[in-house]
Structure 1
């Protein structure tokens, strides 16, 4: 049996493992049945490591077939292999038109360009995208490890899995939907605010703590203590690294064999 003769159910399952540009490049003109089928299935659009020609070709396909936008449930854009890909994509399409999007990822490159105009333009782009997150009713996951996001931007969204460079709680509001949060770093005060204003949070990872676990640390199976005392928070291995230790009535101590559980 030839591939195009397989039942639709099996074809749809196969297409779930393929990238949207590859699906349309390979099957769009094969026959009329597949032409209709690929325009009525959930699509994963991963533009990371996609050649510029393929990226431009699929963007043109979306423009000629507007119905495709509602079928894209996964979108990943990256500036690493193709500089300016994120900016190029949003110059053609507004994020809010992908109404069925469930997962959204942005991979930004650390540019050497330090000109003020570049950073101002980048911040403006981040603000525009952030303002549209609440307009995506099915968005479950947002991954942007180089971005800073204000809590207010997603306060009314359904995002549950969030990965950012920094999570700004300037506007304190309860974000009941977030259950998993990964950030590059935060201060003790910011960490306390995050814990207080994310009541559904089950998992948090702060990358700044990752270097704490060296191979030498793992070899000795050392435990880690977390101490919170009013506005001060400290993280250290046991045995205690300082010469003096002060215990106060307001101090709360926790210990763990891994910082992954912070």
Structure 2
């Protein structure tokens, strides 16, 4: 059998393309002179993604490699999520500062909820001459003053072209409150911010080169007038939460728009009304992608209303002139009737799959549009069969579901996270069928979970994250016996990241000692009085190389990054 190192250099270099830079460094660096030479050829620049890295490997790269190649790093991803708790703080402990990455072009910051840290990072970036892309992902901003400083730092990045700011929760924050003008930002994507007319006016004035704008929430007062200089913007992706008159005034400012992606919430607009908006204010529009969420407080005459709505999208303006087709689905959630009308293909990432009362389309053959291909986040509830979703990455299933559903499951080749919500009396489920169809599944989350016997029977080669914490409404604390069952289970044996409720602090020691692959544990303990004593006890009983802290946003959560 041929050995890997016997392969010619060309094949080895080609194989390097299938590994990220962290994997390459940890696997091949310092093996021998030949591999070091090949790595130097391969690495004209470096791209470090520190998501999911072990603390040991992070230490190795930061101490032995990064200081010597820091000026060749082109992209950097720093995460403070549950798989790498306290990573940014540890990163700084090695005496790194962002301004030392003088050739950095792409910077991603994930799950950092301390605005002081974010301000430090962005302030240091102000002297980086090549930084063009900045991503703040799932961060939490609560202090208006510090957040304004953050925006000022970002707007002072002299070469920034694309900026994404994901606010984890829709707090009342002013997105822009500064007079700094960025002439370079062309693409701005923000999540969970609320804008009134003054906010938008200030924002667009401070980004005169803006071409694409994506905002998840836009709320303001009825009849509010917009006077915005937005002539440079050609693409909008927005979400509106009533009223109609404000939305109409908003669109009057975007005469050069050629692409509009819009979600409306409980705002009823028929095809004739949309046609009027487009013809009067958006005459250059070429791509129109719509999703309207509708809610009916009274169950009478719903089908008649929906037929009338759908027929208003069957005119020549929609069918012949633009070939914009729509579909309308009507379904029942609890006792409330909902409907959603969307253009085809469905281009939004989120989708709820449930039994429909009624579904019709203005297109005869929906298959030609592959209507589910854009969906990455799927929620399934109360459905008999499941169509093929080829690109779903995140799946949430609300039990119970019929045997017919489980037998209709097809491959989920791109699925990386699965969330199962249990309800009383639905614990005997053929979950293994789904795991067998999900070869890339990384994370398994159990909501309202109580029967550990299910877990002990499950197998998967890819699952390394188990979550019994985030969706466990009833706080099911694991006992010593249940921890032992988890340790001996196939999924427990290979688990690297564990989120869990525990009866007492000794269970933490028990799990870390016996789960040999564990890299991080996020837990709540029943005997934790939320004081310093608990963390101090952990420091005394665990190695000093471990990172141990409380979650500042959820003080009952203890975060441990294992070395």
- Give the alignment's TM-score, normalised by structure 2: 0.35
Structure 1: 4+ residue segments shifted above 6 A: none
Closer/same/farther in 2, CA of residues 6 and 99 from structure 1, 3 Å limit: farther
Matches within 5 A, 1:142-161: 142-145=134-137, 146=139, 148=147, 149-161=150-162
1:258 aligned to 2:290? yes
1:187 aligned to 2:195? yes
Alpha-carbon contact 1:225-1:238 (below 8 Å) kept: no
Matches within 5 A, 1:17-96: 17-39=18-40, 40-62=43-65, 66-80=67-81, 81-92=83-94, 93-96=96-99
Alpha-carbon contact 1:16-1:43 (below 8 Å) kept: no
Deviations 1:176-201 (CA, angstroms, capped at 9, x unpaired): 11111111213222222222221221
Alpha-carbon contact 1:195-1:201 (below 8 Å) kept: yes
Closer/same/farther in 2, CA of residues 172 and 16 from structure 1, 3 Å limit: farther
Q: Select the residue among 179, 183, 187 that pairs with 1:172.
A: 179
Question: Can you give the 5+ residue segments of structure 2 that lack an aligned partner in the other structure?
Answer: 142-146, 168-173, 219-236, 251-263, 271-279, 292-346, 348-563
Q: Aligned-pair distance for 1:150?
A: 1.4
Quote the residue 1:125 is aligned against: 117
Counterpart secondary structure, 2:209 = coil
1:239 aligned to 2:269? yes
Closer/same/farther in 2, CA of residues 156 and 104 from structure 1, 3 Å limit: closer
Distance 2:123 2:13 in 1: 33
Deviations 1:55-94 (CA, angstroms, capped at 9, x unpaired): 222112236xx32111211111111111101221122211
Which structure is larger by alpha-carbon Rg, 1 or 2?
2
Quote the residue 2:530 is aligned against: none
1:226 aligned to 2:247? yes
Closer/same/farther in 2, CA of residues 105 and 258 from structure 1, 3 Å limit: same
Distance 1:177 1:204 in 2: 14
Counterpart secondary structure, 1:187 = coil
Aligned residues: 222
Q: Aligned-pair distance for 1:142?
A: 0.5
Question: Can you give the 5+ residue segments of structure 1 that lack an aligned partner in the other structure?
Answer: 111-121, 214-222, 230-234, 241-251
Alpha-carbon contact 1:133-1:154 (below 8 Å) kept: no
Quote the residue 2:106 is aligned against: 103
The 10-residue stretch of structure 1 (10-19 or 72-81) with the greater mean CA deviation from structure 2: 10-19
Quote the residue 1:208 is aligned against: 217
- Give the alignment's TM-score, normalised by structure 1: 0.70
Q: CA RMSD in A?
A: 3.5
Closer/same/farther in 2, CA of residues 203 and 29 from structure 1, 3 Å limit: same
Quote the residue 1:220 is aligned against: none
